Amino acid sequence: MAKSRDRVELKNSVRSPLPNGKDIGPIDLNQQIEVTVYLRPSAGLANTEAIGKTPISSRTYLSREEFAGTHGAQAEDIQSIRAFAEEYGLRVVSEDAARRMVKLGGTVEAFNQAFGTSLRRYQHASGTYRCRTGAVTVPAEIADVIEGVFGLDNRPQAKPHFRVRKRRAGSQTGGSFSPLQVADLYNFPSGFDGSGQCIGIIELGGGYKTADLTSFFNAAGITTPKVTAVAVDGGKNSPTGDPNGADGEVELDIEVAGSIAPGAEIAVYFAPNTDQGFIDAITTAVHDTKNKPSIISISWGGPESSWTAQARDALNSACQAAATMGVTVLAASGDDGATDGTSSPTVDFPASSPYVIGCGGTKIIASGSSISSEQAWNELSANEGATGGGVSEVFALPDYQSSAKVPAAPNAFKGRGVPDVAGDADPETGYDVIVDGQQSVIGGTSAVAPLWSGLLARINQAIGKNVGYVNPLLYANPAESTFRDITSGSNGDYSAGEGWDACTGLGSPDGAKLLSALQGM
């Protein structure tokens, strides 16, 4: 029996049910679940901004092992969670000092007692889920040790940002493209295939079929890259057979990144679609000492308001950790225009993290081997989506955007502007891919994150060093002047214009010019 003691609310842990949901009763108190407890670091990451402003040739990154020793969880903090678990009848499933996490297992009843919750079953349009409301509480003596508790609630946290092209009568498309055709239109540097790099891809559902990848790359005349599935929190490579479902996201990501950088290894981290799964997948990829991804591509996300503050903080902290280790993180900015599928303008997270390259979308029309026109992607009138973008209401304007003329957020906050960069995303000018044995044309900002990931894999190979946390350099000359500035189109509430804008960021890339610029920075 747990001791009676003073308890305090865990900071930023308050959670409400999903809107329009329904409480359908109690949960079996004997049900076994697993919960991830994230701990404070041994030391903060005060030098992150300095890394971003340092010339790439002069940068010194921490190895994953060095990071674990300097910034991982303290041994005494892990021990305090072990003691806490034993007191409340929970077991330690695993612990990882580098990721600052301890995973606990036990019954719903034991977790209710340990964290002061009353878990219930809720029904929502997205399905039935285990719900907690209010704040998590913990014994006062360990409150400063814990930064987040994830897994008590298992509602869906994110959605994939891809759009399958619809066949509309009389629609005017710009024609679809292979990923390599898009790379050529954007003048990606030739002579490089990403050798020596590993691209980590985060997936929260679906899967890939080896036969699909083989067929796709063989048809394209590209050597099939080495693809490894990494299981996180019980997630796994599980193709559903539905090309319009999450399989479309998974195979789009692999086929786009693999086309651009077939010499790179691709590690796909599969996790459940919950805040616990999302955060655990990213921390696993960031601290993976086996596959050692140098680039992490994320095509899933949700409106900033759909996250608890502790979940946003934990994921943002993982991306900041990546920056200190020379790992570049990219994320799709969303496919529902300026509102991100809500009732008012907002931005998608994790694209809004200041340590992430937010990837917006365009529509390109090609004439031969060159782009004849390019504008912000907006097919909202045809229900085919639009690029996400706007201004964060929770992350402050970073120094690197101080001259970007980012407008105030809807709540008047001086926030981070999203996205940073752009690329072809309109499903009407989408990517030719193979999903579940079927040829398909898919767009969405989901395609832009792996497109840019492949470009950065080529650039890393060419430079001979990871560009890592490159955001500050993208906003400085000569890199900033290499972008193809997008000055037409909108995403509903924001219009494209000269310089940075909240639809297409700095613009789409000229890959060869960007490489040349970064080599000199």
Active-site annotation, residues: 249, 253, 446
Q: How far lies 96's CA from each of 48, 77, 92, 293, 322, in Å? A: 23, 12, 11, 18, 16
Find the length of the chain: 521
Minimal CA–CA distance to 79: which of 65, 97, 62? Answer: 97
Amino acid type, 350:
P
Amino acid type, 412:
A
Which value, in Å, is the radius of gyration of the alpha carbons in the chain?
A: 22
Cα gap 384→380, rounded to integer Å:
6
- Going through 264-356 in order, the beta strands assigned E by DSSP cover 265-270, 295-298, 300-303, 328-332, 348-349
* DSSP-assigned letter for residue 28: -
First-to-last alpha carbon distance for the chain, in angstroms, is: 61
Tokens read off for 192: 């490089």
Cα gap 204→425, rounded to integer Å:
21
State the alpha helices, DSSP H only, in 36-159.
Answer: 48-53, 64-71, 75-87, 108-115
Minimal CA–CA distance to 435: which of 418, 425, 447? Answer: 447
Tokens read off for 98: 């580098």
Cα gap 427→437, rounded to integer Å:
19
Cα gap 300→346, rounded to integer Å:
16
